[in-house]
Amino acid sequence: MSPLDPFGARLRRTMDARGPLCVGIDPHGSLLSAWGLNDDIHGLETFTRTVVDALADRVAVFKPQSAFFERFGSRGIAVLEKAVADLRDAGALVIMDAKRGDIGSTMAAYAETYLRKDAPLFSDALTVSPYLGYGSLKPAVDLARESGAGLFVLALTSNPEGAEVQRAVRSEDPAGRTIGATMLAHLADENAGETPLGSFGAVVGATLGDLSSYDLDINGPLLAPGIGAQGATPADLPGVFGAAVRNVVPSVSRGVLRHGPDAAGLREAARRYAEEVRAAIG
């Protein structure tokens, strides 16, 4: 599998081979404590190494949450850099969950941090926020295309506060679309004509219930957080995503990570979730 292949094509192949699952790596303090680790750089290193060693060669996608590494400063970023490199070396794909969003040269600098192929934190995809206007993401879109990487744009997130922005109706839109629907339409344009799957995805919460009023057929991946500890189950996916369910990348964090630090427990939890998702989406 060439690293120059577009992210969407690599994602489809990897999920078909390893199972349709993304495991979040979220080393927050309470989880470190539950593992019997201190909430310090040594606990972070042990936690991250355990997850990578247990799962890197069998799970399709990983989503490290950058903030939980950044809180330890440069040493935390070093742990994140190594984890990203080791995961990718093992054939997994990495979605960096950093939710970056800005304008102009600042957005370009964020893009270079995660999407330039020789960058220490180069990842297969990056989560981004479009709420300075979708056009503000252009530096990231352009560099992702050049690098064979992808983006996941916040569209319909699972947090309750998101609705006040994402479900607001644009008064200047003759179709009366919500902001979230507008983001989905932009992504459909980015992915037009791509096969087997476009590289520009949306973040759509698995806890949101019936989304049939939204056109989720963007010809790109739909990153779906919320399975496990947040209450959604793999069986909920068809009801939420409808005909677009095959393009869903279901993300589970605590539902898998709470089974550590035992490596066998982590592997069994990841295997079970992948099988349940596969059964649910057909």
pLDDT digits (tens, 9 = 90+) for 136-154: 999 999 999 999 999 999 9
What is the pLDDT, as a whole number, of residue 199?
Answer: 98
Higher pLDDT among residues 228 and 59, named by residue:
59
> Is the per-residue pLDDT at 1 higher than 50?
no
Say if 1 falls within a structural domain: no
Say if 2 falls within a structural domain: no
> Is the per-residue pLDDT at 4 higher than 80?
no
Say if 184 falls within a structural domain: yes
Query: What's the rounded mean pLDDT across residues 256-272?
Result: 97
Say if 162 falls within a structural domain: yes
What is the pLDDT, as a whole number, of residue 121?
Answer: 98
Q: What is the sign of the dihedral through the CA atoms of 55, 57, 61 and 65?
A: positive
> Is the per-residue pLDDT at 9 higher than 50?
yes
Say if 264 falls within a structural domain: yes
Say if 240 falls within a structural domain: yes
- Residues catalogued as catalytic: 99
Residue 157 structural domain: 7-281
Percent of all residues in the chain with a pLDDT value above 70, rounded to a whole number: 99
Query: What's the rounded mean pLDDT across residues 1-15?
Result: 85
What is the pLDDT, as a whole number, of residue 2?
Answer: 46
What is the pLDDT, as a whole number, of residue 228?
Answer: 84
pLDDT digits (tens, 9 = 90+) for 163-185: 999 999 988 888 899 999 999 99
Q: Looking at the 3D structure of the chain, how many domains does it have? A: 1
- Tell me the average pLDDT of the chain: 96
What CATH number is given to the structural domain containing 157? 3.20.20.70
Query: What's the rounded mean pLDDT across residues 252-275?
Result: 97
